Structure 1
Amino acid sequence: MSGAFIGLMGFAGLFGLMAMGVPVGLALLVAGIAGTIAMTGWSAAAYTLSGQAFATASYYELSVLPLFILMGNLASASGLSRDLYEVAHRWIGHLRGGLAGATVLGCAGFAALSGSSIASAVTMGRVAYPNMRRFGYGERLSTGTIAAGGTLGILIPPSTGFVLYATLTEQSIGRLFIAGILPGLMLTGLFLVAIAVIVTLRPAEGPATPPSGWAERWRATRRAAGITTIVLLTIGGIYGGIFTPVEAAGVGAGFAFLMLVLRRRMTGAVISHVIRDTLRTTGMCFLILIGASVFAPFIALSGLPAVVAGRFDALPLGPTGTLMLIILAYAVLGMVIEGLSLMVITLPIVYPLVLGLGYDPIWFGVIMVIVLEMGLISPPVGVNCFVVSTIARDVRLETVFAGVIPFWLAMIVAVLLLIAFPQIATLLPDTMFNAAH
């Protein structure tokens, strides 16, 4: 059997294990070990398993994962997420569709604390959905806004998606974080435009609400100062070269813990929940990374990436056409495979091809994350839509999927703008004080 055929069989085995419900990290591990045994024998497979597992678990830069996850959990426990929604609500809630806009802005702000799309959707959904329904907002707009807004969690730094991408491609975590800022703000703006279009076409979906007084607005703004401080310390510190990403994560987690103490919310039950959730999420991420570190060398050894690259080169598409085909493939696959899992599975094949086409790997990382975001709200998997349906139990799942369509179109616009103007993603990383971070 040829190496490329063994590589294809490895992918077939991987998808078969996933179809049987085996966790992605474990499926990657089994497929990678089995493929390496088929290619080079037991000794090389054992060496790969032990060496890659230890190297991944002891990789210093990956300390950002548990620290940023801890920061997000502490921020949520201290009530900072509610503050984010409240300040946006007070300032723009009185506008037509304003509560939906406040939800998007709240999700964007919480994304700068959590790095998780599901956490953003759950946290902001519990705060925003009852409020929107209380003021007569339509089911589609209410649920679609929460599901789509939650996707900002893996684009606006700190982002779990960027950490995984950086680790798998040996790129700078700090540069990827900074690269996500302007695209994240752009996509937030496009979501607000989508809301404006919806309420213009269907005014009953987002009725105007009574305005807040200036005293209430400034009170909410002052209360949200803790969030602003955390974002400036972490993301601003990385951009200015003051902190490495690991140091910024530690400072952010420390400040979030301080907020928990100052707000008198630190109890044994809260700390226990925060620690358990942090350990659970960190363990899942590291299992995926260890599995990927075993599966990726097997795929490289099989020669499958070179075969795929040769087939793409033979197509009369050119670099742009090939890129569009890759994006289309990710959009389709994202409908049936969870986003971060799809990234880990496909990067061993796609990344060498993208480099061969001459594209900036940092820029492509941003493109990939946005396309994976689309999968989070695409049927039939649409993880965020299922999450929102558990919050809005009175709304049918079909209604949630219908509500995200305008936001899905906004994501397509964002991808096209990034292709047309790559500087949106590359400008800030290229002007970082210390690119080594």
Structure 2
Amino acid sequence: MDPLTLAAIGFAVMLGLIALHVPIGVAMAVIGVAGFGIMVDWGPALSLLASEPAATLTNLDLAVLPLFMLMGSLAAAAGLAGDVYNIAQAWIGHRKGGLATATILGSGGFGAVCGSGVATTATFGKVALPEMLSRGYAPALATGSIAAGGTLGMIVPPSTVMVLYAVLTEQFVLDLFTAAIIPAIIAVLFYIAAVRVSVWRVGGQRSEPLPWPERFRALRRGWSVVFLATVVLGGIYSGIFTVNEAAAVGVVIAFVFVLVRRGFDPRMLTGVLVESAAATAMIYVMVFGATIFSYFMALTGAPVALVGAIAGTDLPPMGIIALLLVLYILLGAFFDEVAAMIITLPFVLPIILHLGFDPIWWGIINVIVIEIGMIAPPIGINVMLLNALNRNIPLITIYRGIVPFLAADVLRLALLVLVPPLTLWLPSMLR
């Protein structure tokens, strides 16, 4: 069989398996092994099921993922999200729409010690949503700010998705973390602007400002999250720690905060470990499958053929980038966006490199598209999560609330696509 035909059939069968709810990593591994066996031999193909998991499990770059996930879970258990939210609430919560703005700032601050968008959304859904609803905030504004703020856990370093992208594309993860700093600041500013638009549209309650002593008291209570973020990120960027060492130190510090604040609770600690282990196992299986599937696709020559076909079109490079972004947003209607990134990287990365774009820049653009997928209909995992946390708020209300934030995301995406130096300037300064 023609290799390109086999690649097309394999890709279609893989999508069919995923549609049948076969785990994505398993589906990719099955098709990768089957395709490799048909093209080469079944002995080497089956050996991939042993060699690739072993290589992934011993990959030191990927080892940072379970550490960051555990650090985020421990930080949430220690109540650090509440601390950073209370600081923002104390200083700006009295303004019109101030609690929604505090949610955006708090989500960004917690993202610096969490690294997960879903975890950030779940945490602030419990911390901020009841507070805003009790103050008379419109449900659309309250849920929209939490769903959008939750995506900041993906772009604010350290980010588990960036680690995953770095491993799969063989990029230096610190370059990705550094490249994300300016886009993360832009994200926070654009979301605050979206809050102002939402306040103008649906209204936001104003309250009496807290006395200055209480504001400073909130700052003192929130020193722990500032300390943890400073040690982890400061240690990474100053060169004191490697990324893995910083993650390990962060886990220890977060664990100490849990012990100091909540005491030794075996049931709670077991829950944190189970949660982190389950998320890590899911990602590792996806990496196993993606690696095996990439071997099969490289053997068929499909990525090279795709690059050649695109090179033969009359579209300018930015036109091709625009088509790829539309493709990712459409895929987000059917797949988890992280899964969409993993599935498409074997095809998309060669195109990006052929067009002369920096893979670090594309990694940040990928993360932003994933953020959009987390709140965009018809799935929007953050929206579904908030609806599960409060069944009294209809899905349509939450989707109405995220409209200004989606518009901010699209504007941010366009800005960073058209002005790559916003992403690449800081990494170039540190090289």
TM-score band w.r.t. shorter chain: over 0.9
Match of 1:360 in 2: 358
> 1:111-162 CA deviation, whole Å, 9 max, x = no partner?
1111111101000111111111111111111111111111111111111111
Residues 46-57 of structure 1 mapped to structure 2, 5 A cutoff = 46-57=46-57
Aligned pair 1:201/2:224, yes or no?
A: no
Match of 1:236 in 2: 234
> 1:196-224 CA deviation, whole Å, 9 max, x = no partner?
1221233x3x1212211111111111111
Residue identity in the other structure for 2:364: V
More divergent stretch after superposition (79-88 vs 34-43):
34-43
Aligned partners of 1:381, 1:10: CA distance in 2, in Å? 26
Aligned pair 1:293/2:321, yes or no?
A: no
Aligned partners of 2:262, 2:377: CA distance in 1, in Å? 42
> Per the alignment, in what secondary structure is the counterpart of residue 426 of structure 1?
helix
Match of 2:369 in 1: 371
Aligned partners of 2:65, 2:264: CA distance in 1, in Å? 23
Aligned partners of 1:25, 1:121: CA distance in 2, in Å? 25
Q: CA deviation at 1:47?
A: 2.6
Contact in 2 for aligned 1:94/1:211 (Cα 8 Å): yes
- How large is the Cα RMSD of the aligned pairs? 1.2
Aligned pair 1:397/2:395, yes or no?
A: yes
> 1:252-271 CA deviation, whole Å, 9 max, x = no partner?
11111111122244311121
Match of 2:185 in 1: 185
Match of 2:126 in 1: 126
> Per the alignment, in what secondary structure is the counterpart of residue 242 of structure 1?
coil
> Per the alignment, in what secondary structure is the counterpart of residue 358 of structure 1?
coil
Aligned partners of 2:220, 2:264: CA distance in 1, in Å? 21
Match of 2:417 in 1: 419
Residue identity in the other structure for 2:381: V
Aligned partners of 1:214, 1:265: CA distance in 2, in Å? 31
Aligned partners of 2:290, 2:264: CA distance in 1, in Å? 37
Aligned partners of 1:59, 1:249: CA distance in 2, in Å? 15
Residues 19-168 of structure 1 mapped to structure 2, 5 A cutoff = 19-168=19-168
Aligned partners of 1:366, 1:72: CA distance in 2, in Å? 21
Q: CA deviation at 1:315?
A: 1.9
> Per the alignment, in what secondary structure is the counterpart of residue 379 of structure 2?
coil
Contact in 2 for aligned 1:75/1:113 (Cα 8 Å): yes
Aligned partners of 2:382, 2:41: CA distance in 1, in Å? 42
Aligned pair 1:281/2:279, yes or no?
A: yes
> 1:368-394 CA deviation, whole Å, 9 max, x = no partner?
110111111111221111001011211
Match of 1:308 in 2: 306
Contact in 2 for aligned 1:230/1:256 (Cα 8 Å): yes
In structure 1, stretches of 5+ residues that fail to align are: none
Q: 1:265/1:196 Cα in 2 relative to 1: closer, same or farther (>3 Å)?
A: farther
Residue identity in the other structure for 1:138: A
Aligned partners of 1:249, 1:271: CA distance in 2, in Å? 18
The partner residue of 1:251 within 249, 252, 265 is 249
Contact in 2 for aligned 1:87/1:220 (Cα 8 Å): yes
Paired-residue identity, %: 41
Residue identity in the other structure for 1:162: M
Aligned partners of 1:212, 1:427: CA distance in 2, in Å? 40
Q: CA deviation at 1:430?
A: 2.1
Residue identity in the other structure for 1:217: R
In structure 2, stretches of 5+ residues that fail to align are: none
Match of 2:322 in 1: 324
Contact in 2 for aligned 1:71/1:249 (Cα 8 Å): yes
Contact in 2 for aligned 1:86/1:220 (Cα 8 Å): yes
Aligned partners of 1:212, 1:11: CA distance in 2, in Å? 58
Q: 1:398/1:201 Cα in 2 relative to 1: closer, same or farther (>3 Å)?
A: closer
Contact in 2 for aligned 1:53/1:293 (Cα 8 Å): no
> 1:211-243 CA deviation, whole Å, 9 max, x = no partner?
111111111111111111111111222112221
Contact in 2 for aligned 1:96/1:199 (Cα 8 Å): yes
Residue identity in the other structure for 1:423: P
**4+ residue stretches of structure 1 with deviation over 2 A?**
none
Aligned partners of 2:124, 2:264: CA distance in 1, in Å? 21
Aligned partners of 2:214, 2:32: CA distance in 1, in Å? 57
Give me the TM-score of the superposition, normalised by structure 1.
0.96
Contact in 2 for aligned 1:78/1:265 (Cα 8 Å): no
Aligned partners of 1:425, 1:265: CA distance in 2, in Å? 42
Aligned partners of 1:90, 1:266: CA distance in 2, in Å? 30
Match of 2:176 in 1: 176
Contact in 2 for aligned 1:56/1:293 (Cα 8 Å): no
> 1:392-411 CA deviation, whole Å, 9 max, x = no partner?
21111111112111111111
Aligned partners of 1:413, 1:10: CA distance in 2, in Å? 36
